[in-house]
Amino acid sequence: MEGVEGRLGTSRAERPQPSPLRVNILGVGVSAISLTQALVIFDAWIASGEQHYVCVTPVHGIMECQSEPDLRRIFNASGLTTPDGMPLVWLLRLMGHKHVTRVYGPDLMLAVCEHSVGRAYRHFFYGGGPGVAERLADRLQARVPGLEIAGMFTPPFRPLTPDEDRDVVQKVNAASPHLVWVGISTPKQERWMAEHLGKVRAPVMIGVGAAFDFLSGAKRQAPRWMQRNGLEWAFRLANEPSRLWRRYLRYPRFAALLLLQALRLRSFPLV
Protein backbone atom coordinates (compact mmCIF):
# COMPACT_ATOMS: atom_id res chain seq x y z
CA MET A 1 0.00 0.00 0.00
CA GLU A 2 3.00 2.28 -0.17
CA GLY A 3 1.78 3.80 -3.43
CA VAL A 4 -1.59 4.78 -1.96
CA GLU A 5 0.06 6.34 1.09
CA GLY A 6 2.44 8.30 -1.09
CA ARG A 7 -0.36 9.75 -3.18
CA LEU A 8 -2.38 10.83 -0.17
CA GLY A 9 0.72 12.20 1.55
CA THR A 10 2.31 11.47 4.91
CA SER A 11 4.41 13.71 7.14
CA ARG A 12 5.88 13.35 10.60
CA ALA A 13 4.76 16.01 13.07
CA GLU A 14 7.55 18.26 14.26
CA ARG A 15 7.10 17.94 18.00
CA PRO A 16 8.79 15.97 20.78
CA GLN A 17 8.38 12.22 20.83
CA PRO A 18 6.40 10.10 21.40
CA SER A 19 4.47 11.35 18.39
CA PRO A 20 2.80 9.12 15.80
CA LEU A 21 2.98 9.56 12.06
CA ARG A 22 0.46 11.99 10.60
CA VAL A 23 -1.34 11.15 7.37
CA ASN A 24 -2.53 13.91 5.08
CA ILE A 25 -6.26 13.40 4.55
CA LEU A 26 -7.63 16.35 2.56
CA GLY A 27 -5.10 18.68 4.15
CA VAL A 28 -5.67 17.49 7.72
CA GLY A 29 -2.84 15.58 9.39
CA VAL A 30 -4.65 12.66 11.04
CA SER A 31 -2.58 10.79 13.62
CA ALA A 32 -2.03 7.12 12.80
CA ILE A 33 -2.64 6.02 16.35
CA SER A 34 -4.35 3.53 18.62
CA LEU A 35 -6.23 4.29 21.81
CA THR A 36 -3.47 2.61 23.84
CA GLN A 37 -0.83 4.83 22.22
CA ALA A 38 -2.88 7.90 23.11
CA LEU A 39 -2.72 6.99 26.79
CA VAL A 40 1.06 6.69 26.64
CA ILE A 41 1.35 10.08 24.95
CA PHE A 42 -0.89 11.75 27.52
CA ASP A 43 1.28 10.32 30.30
CA ALA A 44 4.36 11.79 28.63
CA TRP A 45 2.78 15.24 28.28
CA ILE A 46 1.64 15.27 31.89
CA ALA A 47 5.02 14.09 33.16
CA SER A 48 6.88 16.75 31.18
CA GLY A 49 4.38 19.56 31.73
CA GLU A 50 3.97 20.07 27.97
CA GLN A 51 0.68 21.66 26.98
CA HIS A 52 -1.28 20.27 24.05
CA TYR A 53 -4.82 19.95 22.77
CA VAL A 54 -6.32 16.91 21.07
CA CYS A 55 -8.83 16.97 18.22
CA VAL A 56 -10.93 13.80 18.17
CA THR A 57 -12.30 13.96 14.65
CA PRO A 58 -14.62 11.99 12.39
CA VAL A 59 -15.19 12.76 8.71
CA HIS A 60 -17.35 15.69 9.82
CA GLY A 61 -14.30 17.48 11.22
CA ILE A 62 -12.28 16.88 8.04
CA MET A 63 -15.09 18.35 5.95
CA GLU A 64 -15.47 21.40 8.20
CA CYS A 65 -11.81 22.12 7.48
CA GLN A 66 -12.44 22.24 3.72
CA SER A 67 -14.44 25.46 3.99
CA GLU A 68 -12.52 26.96 6.92
CA PRO A 69 -8.74 27.15 6.32
CA ASP A 70 -8.13 28.60 9.78
CA LEU A 71 -9.83 25.56 11.30
CA ARG A 72 -7.54 23.28 9.29
CA ARG A 73 -4.55 25.08 10.80
CA ILE A 74 -6.00 24.47 14.27
CA PHE A 75 -6.35 20.73 13.58
CA ASN A 76 -2.81 20.56 12.22
CA ALA A 77 -1.34 22.42 15.20
CA SER A 78 -2.86 19.97 17.68
CA GLY A 79 -0.84 17.57 19.77
CA LEU A 80 -2.93 14.79 18.20
CA THR A 81 -5.75 14.65 15.69
CA THR A 82 -7.21 11.21 16.22
CA PRO A 83 -9.42 9.07 13.93
CA ASP A 84 -12.80 9.15 15.66
CA GLY A 85 -14.82 7.52 12.85
CA MET A 86 -14.45 4.07 11.28
CA PRO A 87 -14.06 5.47 7.73
CA LEU A 88 -10.84 7.19 8.83
CA VAL A 89 -9.66 4.03 10.62
CA TRP A 90 -10.29 1.90 7.52
CA LEU A 91 -8.52 4.45 5.33
CA LEU A 92 -5.43 4.53 7.57
CA ARG A 93 -5.30 0.72 7.72
CA LEU A 94 -5.64 0.54 3.93
CA MET A 95 -2.58 2.78 3.74
CA GLY A 96 -0.56 0.32 5.79
CA HIS A 97 -1.10 1.55 9.36
CA LYS A 98 -2.47 -1.75 10.63
CA HIS A 99 -2.14 -0.80 14.30
CA VAL A 100 -4.62 2.07 14.07
CA THR A 101 -7.80 1.77 16.12
CA ARG A 102 -10.76 4.06 16.47
CA VAL A 103 -10.03 6.76 19.06
CA TYR A 104 -13.68 7.51 19.73
CA GLY A 105 -14.57 10.31 22.14
CA PRO A 106 -16.64 8.32 24.68
CA ASP A 107 -14.24 5.35 24.63
CA LEU A 108 -11.23 7.62 24.96
CA MET A 109 -12.81 9.43 27.89
CA LEU A 110 -13.57 6.18 29.72
CA ALA A 111 -10.13 4.73 29.01
CA VAL A 112 -8.33 7.86 30.23
CA CYS A 113 -10.48 8.03 33.37
CA GLU A 114 -9.73 4.39 34.20
CA HIS A 115 -6.05 4.89 33.37
CA SER A 116 -5.82 7.96 35.61
CA VAL A 117 -6.89 6.19 38.80
CA GLY A 118 -3.74 5.54 40.79
CA ARG A 119 -1.87 8.24 38.88
CA ALA A 120 -3.67 11.06 40.72
CA TYR A 121 -4.72 12.77 37.48
CA ARG A 122 -7.39 15.40 37.97
CA HIS A 123 -10.14 16.04 35.41
CA PHE A 124 -12.13 19.16 34.52
CA PHE A 125 -15.30 19.11 32.38
CA TYR A 126 -16.03 22.11 30.15
CA GLY A 127 -19.22 21.86 28.14
CA GLY A 128 -22.54 20.08 27.90
CA GLY A 129 -26.03 21.44 28.38
CA PRO A 130 -27.53 22.39 31.74
CA GLY A 131 -26.91 19.62 34.26
CA VAL A 132 -25.04 17.39 31.80
CA ALA A 133 -21.56 17.86 33.30
CA GLU A 134 -22.91 17.08 36.78
CA ARG A 135 -24.59 13.87 35.58
CA LEU A 136 -21.44 12.98 33.66
CA ALA A 137 -19.33 13.39 36.80
CA ASP A 138 -21.72 11.28 38.87
CA ARG A 139 -21.82 8.48 36.31
CA LEU A 140 -18.07 8.41 35.75
CA GLN A 141 -17.28 8.36 39.46
CA ALA A 142 -19.75 5.52 39.94
CA ARG A 143 -18.17 3.62 37.07
CA VAL A 144 -14.55 4.48 37.95
CA PRO A 145 -14.13 4.54 41.76
CA GLY A 146 -11.34 6.86 42.83
CA LEU A 147 -11.69 9.16 39.81
CA GLU A 148 -10.62 12.70 40.73
CA ILE A 149 -12.86 15.39 39.25
CA ALA A 150 -11.40 18.83 39.88
CA GLY A 151 -14.33 20.87 38.60
CA MET A 152 -16.74 21.62 35.79
CA PHE A 153 -18.28 24.52 33.90
CA THR A 154 -21.26 24.66 31.56
CA PRO A 155 -20.86 27.60 29.17
CA PRO A 156 -23.92 29.46 27.88
CA PHE A 157 -25.05 29.03 24.27
CA ARG A 158 -23.42 32.31 23.27
CA PRO A 159 -19.87 33.67 23.13
CA LEU A 160 -18.44 34.56 26.51
CA THR A 161 -17.53 38.17 27.18
CA PRO A 162 -13.81 38.83 27.80
CA ASP A 163 -14.50 39.17 31.53
CA GLU A 164 -16.47 35.92 31.61
CA ASP A 165 -13.72 34.15 29.73
CA ARG A 166 -11.07 35.36 32.15
CA ASP A 167 -13.22 34.12 35.04
CA VAL A 168 -13.53 30.70 33.42
CA VAL A 169 -9.78 30.44 32.84
CA GLN A 170 -9.18 31.36 36.48
CA LYS A 171 -11.72 28.73 37.58
CA VAL A 172 -10.04 26.02 35.53
CA ASN A 173 -6.53 26.95 36.64
CA ALA A 174 -7.57 27.19 40.30
CA ALA A 175 -8.79 23.59 40.05
CA SER A 176 -5.32 22.45 38.84
CA PRO A 177 -6.53 19.70 36.48
CA HIS A 178 -4.22 17.54 34.41
CA LEU A 179 -6.87 17.01 31.74
CA VAL A 180 -9.62 19.35 30.55
CA TRP A 181 -12.42 17.64 28.62
CA VAL A 182 -14.16 19.99 26.18
CA GLY A 183 -17.62 19.01 24.93
CA ILE A 184 -19.09 21.90 22.93
CA SER A 185 -19.15 20.25 19.46
CA THR A 186 -16.98 20.74 16.37
CA PRO A 187 -15.72 23.27 15.36
CA LYS A 188 -16.39 25.34 18.49
CA GLN A 189 -14.42 23.05 20.78
CA GLU A 190 -11.35 23.03 18.55
CA ARG A 191 -11.38 26.81 18.32
CA TRP A 192 -11.79 27.09 22.09
CA MET A 193 -8.86 24.77 22.79
CA ALA A 194 -6.55 26.54 20.34
CA GLU A 195 -7.50 29.94 21.74
CA HIS A 196 -6.92 28.80 25.33
CA LEU A 197 -3.69 26.87 24.83
CA GLY A 198 -1.24 28.53 27.21
CA LYS A 199 -4.01 30.33 29.10
CA VAL A 200 -5.40 27.12 30.57
CA ARG A 201 -2.44 25.57 32.35
CA ALA A 202 -3.58 21.94 32.15
CA PRO A 203 -1.16 19.78 30.13
CA VAL A 204 -3.96 18.14 28.12
CA MET A 205 -7.17 19.50 26.60
CA ILE A 206 -9.32 17.03 24.66
CA GLY A 207 -12.33 17.90 22.49
CA VAL A 208 -14.79 15.02 22.71
CA GLY A 209 -18.01 16.51 21.33
CA ALA A 210 -21.06 14.38 22.09
CA ALA A 211 -19.21 12.21 24.63
CA PHE A 212 -20.64 14.37 27.40
CA ASP A 213 -24.18 13.55 26.25
CA PHE A 214 -23.51 9.86 25.65
CA LEU A 215 -21.69 9.11 28.90
CA SER A 216 -24.08 11.19 30.99
CA GLY A 217 -27.07 9.36 29.56
CA ALA A 218 -28.51 12.50 27.92
CA LYS A 219 -28.38 10.77 24.51
CA ARG A 220 -28.34 7.14 23.38
CA GLN A 221 -25.25 5.66 21.76
CA ALA A 222 -25.41 3.47 18.69
CA PRO A 223 -25.13 -0.28 19.38
CA ARG A 224 -21.57 -1.59 19.25
CA TRP A 225 -22.21 -3.62 16.11
CA MET A 226 -23.24 -0.43 14.30
CA GLN A 227 -20.17 1.40 15.60
CA ARG A 228 -17.83 -1.41 14.48
CA ASN A 229 -19.35 -1.48 11.00
CA GLY A 230 -19.27 2.26 10.39
CA LEU A 231 -23.05 2.66 10.74
CA GLU A 232 -23.16 4.98 13.72
CA TRP A 233 -24.04 7.84 11.39
CA ALA A 234 -27.31 6.07 10.46
CA PHE A 235 -28.27 5.64 14.12
CA ARG A 236 -27.51 9.25 14.96
CA LEU A 237 -29.28 10.54 11.86
CA ALA A 238 -32.39 8.54 12.75
CA ASN A 239 -32.36 10.03 16.25
CA GLU A 240 -31.52 13.65 15.28
CA PRO A 241 -32.49 14.08 11.62
CA SER A 242 -33.13 17.83 11.68
CA ARG A 243 -29.76 18.58 13.29
CA LEU A 244 -27.52 16.11 11.47
CA TRP A 245 -28.79 15.66 7.92
CA ARG A 246 -26.58 18.43 6.54
CA ARG A 247 -23.53 16.91 8.21
CA TYR A 248 -23.95 13.49 6.64
CA LEU A 249 -24.88 14.94 3.27
CA ARG A 250 -21.17 15.85 3.00
CA TYR A 251 -19.94 12.25 3.12
CA PRO A 252 -20.22 11.58 -0.66
CA ARG A 253 -18.21 14.77 -1.26
CA PHE A 254 -15.58 13.48 1.18
CA ALA A 255 -15.21 10.31 -0.90
CA ALA A 256 -14.98 12.31 -4.14
CA LEU A 257 -12.31 14.65 -2.77
CA LEU A 258 -10.36 11.71 -1.39
CA LEU A 259 -10.32 10.12 -4.83
CA LEU A 260 -9.05 13.36 -6.38
CA GLN A 261 -6.28 13.49 -3.79
CA ALA A 262 -5.30 9.85 -4.35
CA LEU A 263 -5.13 10.39 -8.13
CA ARG A 264 -3.10 13.59 -7.63
CA LEU A 265 -5.72 15.61 -9.47
CA ARG A 266 -6.01 17.99 -6.54
CA SER A 267 -3.58 18.82 -3.79
CA PHE A 268 -4.43 19.42 -0.15
CA PRO A 269 -1.39 20.93 1.61
CA LEU A 270 -0.87 20.57 5.35
CA VAL A 271 -1.03 24.24 6.27
Decide: residue 255, CB within 10 A, 0-12 exposed, 13-18 middle, 19+ buried. Answer: exposed
Strand ranges in the chain using DSSP code E only, listed in sequence order: 10-12, 21-25, 28-31, 52-57, 80-83, 122-127, 148-153, 179-183, 204-207
Tell me the pLDDT of the chain averaged across its residues.
91
Q: Give pLDDT, residue 150.
A: 97
Q: Phi/psi zone of residue 112: left (φ > 0), alpha (ψ -120 to 50 degrees), beta?
A: alpha
Count of CB atoms situated within 10 Å of the CB of 50? 14
Percent of the chain with pLDDT over 70: 93
- For 136-159, the pLDDT digits (tens) are 999 999 999 999 999 999 999 889
- For 74-116, the pLDDT digits (tens) are 999 999 999 999 999 999 999 999 999 999 999 999 999 999 9
Q: Give pLDDT, residue 18.
A: 54
3-state secondary structure of 126: strand
Query: How far separated are the first and last CA of the chain, in Å rounded?
Result: 25
Rounded CA Rg of the chain:
18
Percent of the chain with pLDDT over 90: 76
pLDDT band at residue 271 using 50, 70 and 90 as cut-offs? confident
